[in-house]
A = this chain, B = another copy of it.
Amino acid sequence: MPRTRGRAPAGGRADALSREVVVGAAVELLDEHGERGLTFRLLAERLSTGPGALYWHVANKDELVALAADHVLGHALAEVPPPTDDAVAGLRTLAVTVFDALDRHAWAASRVTAPATLANALRLFDRIGSLVARTGLPAERHFEVSTAISYYITGVSAQIIAPGLTVSPATSREDFLARTADRWEALDPADYPFLTRTTANLRDHDDRDQFTTGLDLLLTGLNATTEPGRPA
């Protein structure tokens, strides 16, 4: 749990630290160096303080990164265009907007978790649920379908954006895919009949299309289940 944070510090420094300031600086560092490159010493230096000071505002590194990811998610949600009449279309835009935001902050993708606990993850799930509720689906299915969509957004985004969560921000996605395609090409077609046939697709596929392909499959499935009900 967070420590209490008051107003302007009584006897402290002018540019007072706060949880927001710490998290904001962490986002910058995370963008620059990835999760492993974020260090309490480095962050402290950036904020002209000692490492110990940061622990007054966040419990530990896990919490710090989680808060930073939730911060990114917050920006994403703020960008989501207002919903129209078509609830399914609304779900699609919501999902894609979140994907795009995470794509700009690869480290965050694997940190937005799906049984939501932080403020913006909660908001995301609530928005999904509200849209699902307007879909015509019977009420007893609202929860499971919302969860499925929510899992899809966070889980698949993470897979696409930060596969293995280990690749340093140095290696570009293109390099990674190109190297993988090379490896596929070298395989024996007898063992991997499908793989060896589709190498070309891997080389020039688009990440974002990949995300929407599965999403549309899911939403089509949803429509197919809803059909007999009312429209909006």
| A residues with CB within 8 A of B | 62, 66, 110-111, 113-117, 122-123, 125-130, 133, 142-149, 151-152, 154-160, 163-166, 176-177, 180, 183-184, 187, 191-195, 197-198, 201-202, 205, 209-210, 213-214, 216-225
A133 and B194 contact, CB distance less than 8 A: yes
Distance between Cα atoms of A229 and B37 in the complex (Å) = 51
Nearest-neighbour CB distance to chain B for A180, whole angstroms, equals: 5
Looking at chain A's contact residues, the main secondary structure is helix
Could you show 25 A-B contacts with beta carbons less than 8 Å apart?
Answer: A110-B165, A114-B159, A115-B176, A117-B180, A122-B192, A123-B192, A126-B194, A128-B194, A129-B197, A133-B194, A145-B217, A146-B198, A147-B205, A147-B214, A148-B210, A148-B213, A148-B217, A151-B156, A155-B159, A158-B158, A216-B221, A218-B221, A219-B221, A221-B221, A221-B224
Q: Do residues A126 and B192 form an inter-chain contact, with CB atoms below 8 A?
A: yes
Complex Cα gap A23–B33 (Å): 29
> Whose C-beta in chain B lies nearest to the C-beta of A198?
B143
Question: Chain B residues with Cβ under 8 A from A198's Cβ?
Answer: 129, 142-143, 146
Question: Which 6 A-B residue pairings sit nearest by Cβ, starting from the closest?
Answer: A129-B194, A148-B214, A155-B155, A221-B221, A220-B221, A217-B221
